[in-house]
Amino acid sequence: MSTEALSTSDLPFISPLPQSRESTSKYNPGMPLDNHWVESSNVNHAGLIRRASEISGRRTVKKANQAAWLLRAITCIDLTTLSGDDTRGNVQRLCAKAKNPVRRDIMEKLGVPHDFVTTGAVCVYPARVQDAVEALEGSGIPVASVATGFPSGQIKTEHKLQEIEQCVADGAREIDIVLSRDLVLQGKWDQVYEEVKLFKAACGGAEMKTILATGELATFENVYKASLVCMMAGADFIKTSTGKEPVNATLPVSLCMLRAIRDYRDRTGFRVGYKPAGGISTAKDALTYLALVKDELGDSYLNNDMFRFGASSLLNDCERQLYHNAFGEYAADYYMPSV
């Protein structure tokens, strides 16, 4: 295919980002646990895999559309660092990148203001929330914190609640909680439900993303059921993974969770967001995920109110691809400002 650079006139359709919420509010008040619904779920494994494997063959975006999609993808990134060696210093660097995710000359070549996009949020450990809040002050970018004994969740519920409360107090506007996988694997859906409900209450005004840790749930059916239970308990987002499981976000798991979101919306009218996390590192992957969301849930889910990538290196690859869109040459990653 042609490697010609885009001209600025190719991008008139890029709308200001992020889009405002639809009139049907995202707010998910939850609902009483419907065990019958949960238990009667049927998820066909092979069918999921086939549909998921076909999406990248059925959908592709090129040239100007691709640039627009990549910019949108960047606005949906929860730019993340979740390491034992995180310090105030590298969190500051991350936050700076969140505010200026794409090199100024690339943005200008694409014909959009250099501050046209930021990432959707910055995601850190509880101990780094204050660092991030400080670094992002005035940018409008929310800080997300993982909580509830992330990544394993193997601490007592009371401590999980305290952790959430502390994060919120420190300024986190989004809380990524982890499910108790032991309860899921034992099918104790009522206890899963009760615990997530407590988390939701502890979040107060902060948005709650529930991490299923799908790589530890064994089957798609468990993933689907856990998704439903989390939404019934009031999750604002459902999220695949901590990034620490052996297998993190995949397209089939995403398809499974997106369908749960759709079924929940169909029955309750409440919209819940989706966040695949871990393992999504290329611009091409990101475009495929966006296409999946678009085709399964519709355009109204393609903004950072309803969709996030939990990722770190993805941003760099998107930026390189945008460079290619802008200048028609391939870029080395070290030409892009690092996180």
Partner 1 sequence: MEYGNAPEDDSPARSWLDGHDKLFGTFINNKWNKANEADIPLAPSVSPSTGEVLAETVQATTDDVDAAVEAARAAYESWSALEPHVRARHIYAIARNLQKHSRLLAVVESMDNGKPIRETRDADIPAAVRHMYYHAGWAQIMDTELPNYKPVGVIAQIIPWNFPLLMLAWKIAPALAMGNTVVLKPAPSTRLSAALFADILAESGLPPGVVNIISGDNDMASHLSAHPDVDKVAFTGSTAVGKHLQRQLAGTNTKLSLELGGKSPVVVYESADLDGAVEGLVNGIWFNQGQVCCAGSRLLVQESVAEVFVEKLKRRMDTLRVGNSLEKNIDMSAIIDETQRDRIQSMVQIGIDEGADVYQPKDCVPSDGCFYPPTLVTNVQSTSTLVQEEIFGPVLVAQTFRTPAEAIKLANNTRYGLSAGVWTEKVGLALETALQIKAGVIWVNTHNVFDAAAGFGGYKESGFGREGGKEGLYEYVKLAWKKGGKRKVGDNVKENGVEWGKPRTKPLPSNPLQSNSLGGIPGVDRTPKMYIGGSQKRPDGNYVVPVMSSDGEKLMGQVGDGNRKDVRDAVSAACKAAPGWGKRGAYNRSQILFYIAENLSIRREEFASRIDGMTGCGIEEGLAEVDMSISRLFTYASYADKYGGHVQETPFSGVTSSVNEPVGVVGVVCSDDRPLLQFVSAVAPAVVRGNAVVACPSEKYPLAATDLYQVLDTSDLPGGVINIVTGQSDVIAKTLAEHQAVDGIWYFGDQEGCYNTQRLAAGNMKRTFVCGEGRDWMDREQGEGEEFLREASEVKNIWIPTGESMPGGGGAY
Question: Among the candidate windows 96-104, 107-115, 158-166, 290-298, which touches partner 1 by CB under 8 A?
Answer: 290-298
In this structure, the number of other CB atoms found within 10 A of the CB of residue 116 comes to 17
Q: What is the closest distance, in whole angstroms, from the C-beta atom of residue 220 to partner 1 in the complex?
A: 6
Exactly one of 33, 64, 112, 202 binds partner 1 (CB under 8 A); that residue is 64
Residue 191 as a binder of partner 1 (CB under 8 A): the answer is no
Give the orientation angle of helix 45-58 with respect to helix 251-268, to 10 degrees: 100
Question: What's the token pair of residue 284?
Answer: 């091409």
Instruction: Tell me how long the chain is.
Output: 339
Location of structure tokens 């439900």: 193
Q: Any catalytic annotation for residue 176?
A: yes
Closest by CA position to 280, among listed 248, 257, 255, 258 = 248
Q: Any catalytic annotation for residue 97?
A: no
Question: Among the candidate windows 26-34, 126-134, 195-203, 249-257, which touches partner 1 by CB under 8 A?
Answer: 249-257
Residue 248 as a binder of partner 1 (CB under 8 A): the answer is yes
In this structure, the number of other CB atoms found within 10 A of the CB of residue 217 comes to 21
**Catalytic entry in 99, 200, 225, 239:** 239
Q: What is the closest distance, in whole angstroms, from the C-beta atom of residue 68 to partner 1 in the complex?
A: 7
Q: What is the closest distance, in whole angstroms, from the C-beta atom of residue 196 to partner 1 in the complex?
A: 22
Q: Please name the helix (run of DSSP H) or strand (run of DSSP E) that holds residue 273, with its range, or none.
A: strand 273-275
Closest by CA position to 95, among listed 124, 69, 75 = 124
Q: Any catalytic annotation for residue 239?
A: yes
The angle subtended at Cα 133 by Cα 137 and Cα 73, nearest 5°, is: 85
Location of structure tokens 């000359």: 105
In the chain, what is the straight-line distance between the N-terminal and C-terminal CA atoms, in Å? 31
Residue 305 as a binder of partner 1 (CB under 8 A): the answer is no
Which 267-286 positions form the footprint of partner 1 (CB under 8 A)?
278-282, 284-285
Exactly one of 45, 159, 190, 201 binds partner 1 (CB under 8 A); that residue is 45
Residue 310 as a binder of partner 1 (CB under 8 A): the answer is no
Q: What is the closest distance, in whole angstroms, from the C-beta atom of residue 241 to partner 1 in the complex?
A: 9
Q: What is the closest distance, in whole angstroms, from the C-beta atom of residue 278 to partner 1 in the complex?
A: 7
Residue 325 as a binder of partner 1 (CB under 8 A): the answer is no
Closest by CA position to 199, among listed 210, 188, 189 = 210
Q: What is the closest distance, in whole angstroms, from the C-beta atom of residue 127 to partner 1 in the complex?
A: 27
DSSP E strand boundaries for 125-192? 143-146, 174-178
The angle subtended at Cα 134 by Cα 128 and Cα 136, nearest 5°, is: 100
Which 203-232 positions form the footprint of partner 1 (CB under 8 A)?
214-215, 217-221, 223
Interface residues toward partner 1, by CB under 8 A: 1, 13, 42-51, 53, 56-65, 68-69, 72, 214-215, 217-221, 223, 246-253, 259, 278-282, 284-285, 288-291, 294-295, 299, 302
Residues annotated as catalytic are 176, 239, 275
